[in-house]
Amino acid sequence: MPIYKFNPWWQTLEIDEDVKPGVERPVLRELQKELSNRKIVVLSGLRRTGKSTLMQQMIQFLVRKKGVLAKRIIYMAFSQENNELENIIDRYLKEVLRGTEQEKQKIYIFLDEIQYVPQWQKVLSVYFAKHKNFKFFISGSMVLHVGEHTPKNIKNKFKEIEVKPLDFEEYLNLKGIQIDAKQEKKYEQEMKTYFRNYLLHGGFIETQKLDAGMRRQYIKENILERIIYKDIPQNFRVSKPGVLNRLVRLIAYEPGVFGNFKHIAKKLSCDQRTIARYVSYLEKSGLVRNLYNFGLSPLQKEKSLKKLYLTNTAFNLAISPEIDFEKLLTQFYVNLFEANFFSLSAQKQLIKVVLQNEDKIIPLEIDLSEQVSSLLVKKLFLFMQKHQLTKGYVITLNKKNVLKKADMKIELIPYWRYGTVLKKIK
């Protein structure tokens, strides 16, 4: 494996000044704080979110800002053909450090696409125990498993950090746009334009300069299809990746579709158990978010209807450019607030989003009609009354208002007032 090709700084003993560091994001500072932490740092996340760029930025930071000797840093990117981790580290120690004093000092090891290394968790755990001066940063797809099935003695050695696409604020910063949140009304038209453009790109940096056709092609070929046809089949039992693709398309066309697996199975000419399994795989891969009916027990929750959303608006628009804007916006806020619940009462009254953080419960509706529906307001107040809540919110097209009933209050906030929405709800 060409370890010297990936580490040119071993010869030059410095980072090339012409190498562009890329956009510096808040998550970079989070990684820098982990340098003093003994744990193995795992960068997980969707494809094309900048995990490899972050690793290069960390290497530049270590050499240029921390004065770390270049030979004490190794970077490797794995693939199906090149996946021999132990051989690489042994070669590095013997050929590059050569038993010098540097071998006893702190060594920084960056391993990209680690999912290609067989039993990578166990291999790293051995090095972690044997070499207390090794500091690992590893990256891979969302299907990296440092989760519920990982033994606790191994899991405790890892610190997982998810690298997401740019959020809307980062997107504005990338564009060099500064908007005072206190003067949102003044910038209404600009904010509407920026917001809709952001939904098109979904925060993927490499799509910013592509035209509509190229952007959709990029999202489909470099993210969706690679996860559906490569990442998921490599990690899970998938006999029909074509059905997996059709399932993603179904959710893309209809954000918030009820996860009635029997109904979906019939529509896709597939077995119900296969659909349930595939939805689980899509969730673990980071493509789909599952919302459960609020207020049910864990057992009831698993057996009840679910609502399914893709995790990024760019995915929907790559597949279905003419999608309904209100449905797309609902999906955006579902993902922004990392929602886990909706509410469907016995009387079939639906609340699109219910946020719950410990003891705090917030019902959230989205209504982009010119006048907010009185029926929507009524059912929101009924939900609040039932659960003894004092605050609820409706994301609107342009309407800004506060509706009161007894000690309850529903605040209407236009969707483009992003700063206000975050301040009030998040």
* Domain range list for the chain: 3-162, 210-323, 327-426
Residue 143 has what pLDDT?
59
Residue 297 has what pLDDT?
73
How much of the chain is helix, strand and coil, in % rounded to 5?
50, 20, 35
Domain 327-426 = CATH 1.20.140: no
Q: Tell me how far apart the alpha carbons of residues 363 and 341 are, in angstroms, rounded to a whole number.
A: 10
How would residue 162 be classed by pLDDT, with cut points 50, 70 and 90?
very high
Q: What is the pLDDT of residues 328-360, one digit of tens each?
A: 999 999 999 999 999 998 888 999 999 998 889
Residue 295 has what pLDDT?
83
Residue 185 has what pLDDT?
86
Share of the chain above pLDDT 90, in %: 72
For all residues of the chain together, what is the average pLDDT? 90
User: Which secondary-structure segment (H or E) carries 179?
Assistant: none
Q: Which CATH superfamily is domain 3-162 in?
A: P-loop containing nucleotide triphosphate hydrolases (3.40.50.300)
Q: What is the pLDDT of residues 219-258, one digit of tens each?
A: 999 999 999 999 899 888 899 999 999 999 999 999 999 9
Looking only at Cα atoms, what is the longest distance across the chain? 76
Dihedral angle at the C-alpha atoms of 195, 200, 201, 207, nearest 10 degrees?
-130
Strand partners, 107: 134
Q: What is the pLDDT of residues 369-384, one digit of tens each?
A: 999 999 999 999 999 9
State residue 259 phi and psi, 5-degree precision: -80, 60
**Residue 91: is it exposed, middle or buried by C-beta count within 10 angstroms (0-12/13-18/19+)?**
middle
Q: Is the pLDDT of residue 150 over 80?
A: no
Query: Contact, 47 vs 226, CB < 8 A?
Result: yes
Residue 12 has what pLDDT?
77
Where does residue 286 fall: left (phi above 0), alpha (psi -120 to 50 degrees), or beta otherwise?
Answer: left
Token code pair at residue 274: 């296969």
How would residue 152 be classed by pLDDT, with cut points 50, 70 and 90?
low
Residue 346 has what pLDDT?
83
Query: Contact, 367 vs 395, CB < 8 A?
Result: yes
DSSP string of 291-353, one letter each residue: EEETT--HHHHHHS-EEEEES-HHHHHHH-TT--HHHHHHHHHHHHTT--EEEE-TT--EEEE
Radius of gyration of the chain (CA): 24
Query: Contact, 390 vs 362, CB < 8 A?
Result: no
Query: Contact, 288 vs 309, CB < 8 A?
Result: yes
Share of the chain above pLDDT 70, in %: 93
DSSP string of 91-145, one letter each residue: HIIIIIITTSGGGGS-EEEEEESGGGSTTHHHHHHHHHHH-TTEEEEEE--TT--
Q: Tell me how far apart the alpha carbons of residues 121 and 191 are, in angstroms, rounded to a whole number.
A: 45
Q: Tell me how far apart the alpha carbons of residues 391 and 384 are, in angstroms, rounded to a whole number.
A: 8
Q: Is the pLDDT of residue 147 over 60?
A: no
Strand partners, 344: 350
Residue 178 has what pLDDT?
79
For the ranges 21-25, 65-69, 395-399, which has the lowest average pLDDT? 21-25
Spell out the residues 6+ positions from residue 405 whose beta carbon is closer than 8 angstroms to its own.
Answer: 381
Residue 391 has what pLDDT?
97
Is the fold of 3-162 the same as that of 210-323? Answer: no
Token code pair at residue 326: 């209100």
Has this prediction a pTM greater than 0.75? yes
Token code pair at residue 327: 């449905």
The stretch 196-213 carries a mean pLDDT of 94
Residue of 121, 117, 119 lying closest to 79 (CA atoms): 117
Residue 223 has what pLDDT?
96
Q: What is the pLDDT of residues 274-300, one digit of tens each?
A: 999 999 999 999 999 999 999 877 767
Query: Contact, 282 vs 310, CB < 8 A?
Result: no
State residue 299 phi and psi, 5-degree precision: -70, -45
Residue 154 has what pLDDT?
66
Q: Tell me how far apart the alpha carbons of residues 74 and 15 are, in angstroms, rounded to a whole number.
A: 13
Q: Is the pLDDT of residue 146 over 70?
A: no
Residues 210-323, CATH architecture: Orthogonal Bundle (1.10)
